[in-house]
Amino acid sequence: MKGILIHLKRLDWVLIVSTLFLVGIGLFSIYSSSLGRGDFLNFKKQIIFLGLALFLMFLFSFFDWRGLRENPYLILILYFLCLFGLLGLFFFAPEIRGIRSWYKFGPLALSPIEFTKIVLIILLAKYFSMRHIEMYRIRHILLSGAYILLPIVLIFPQPDLGQVLILIALWVGVLLISGIKLRHFLILVLCFLLISILSWSFLLMDYQKERILSFLFPYDPLGVSWSQNQAKIAVGSEEFLARV
């Protein structure tokens, strides 16, 4: 018992409390929506998942993560398992509202995309920890981008533009922390702008364009920006119940 208490004290409680705070905001939002509909099934499911997540967090906190640092092959195995999981979505995942992003196991759903994010963070951290002195070489940036590109190629056709943007932001964030050169960063920004223009013209569907425009210019209160404006009204008027 004493050993468990000592272990608990060593945990990063700032990170844990911050995460629980964000989770609490999400739960409150789901509760408000459930209260408006009179159906609390989703809220109860999220409470169960939260309890399971806390248990797994405590369980995995005993795992010695230095094994990943010392065994790069294990990280690569996890990475390729994630790629196979993303590829399998096209064959085994049911189509829900035109998107194949979840494996269904009875009442439960599992998304390999979330595991892919964690594995990519570990993989990129391992990659740059061994090459942070050579960050001036652009080939390291390009190779790290290849690790991100493969999951993006599998996620974009689902289609799931939001997750693609999250993976790109994850990669850029790790690059900035790793000490990327300013001129390389500006080149990446220029490439991103060029790719964005081409994607807007040839790849993105109309509803994806509408979502981006509603995020950047939420000035259509009765159209695509309805949800965002209702949320602002609820917060501004201090009303916590979802408006339906």
Could you report the per-residue pLDDT of 173-217, keeping only the tens digit for each?
888 887 777 887 888 888 888 888 887 777 777 767 777 777 677
Helix axes 161-178, 182-202, angle to 10 degrees: 170
Per-residue model confidence as pLDDT tens digits over 20-47: 999 988 888 888 777 767 778 888 888 9
Tokens of 151: 């999951």
Cα–Cα–Cα angle for 93, 95, 97, rounded to 5 degrees? 145
Per-residue model confidence as pLDDT tens digits over 127-167: 887 776 666 677 778 888 889 999 998 888 887 778 888 89
Give bridge partners of residue 110 from the DSSP assignment. Answer: 103
Contacts of 115 by beta carbon, 8 Å cutoff, 6+ apart:
82, 85
Tokens of 81: 């398992």
Does the reported pTM lie above 0.75? no
Residue 243 has pLDDT above 80, yes or no: no
Taken as a whole, the chain contains a residue count of 244
C-alpha distance across the termini of the chain, in Å: 49
Give bridge partners of residue 104 from the DSSP assignment. Answer: 109
Tokens of 85: 């999981």
Burial (Cβ within 10 Å: 0-12, 13-18, ≥19) of residue 180: buried
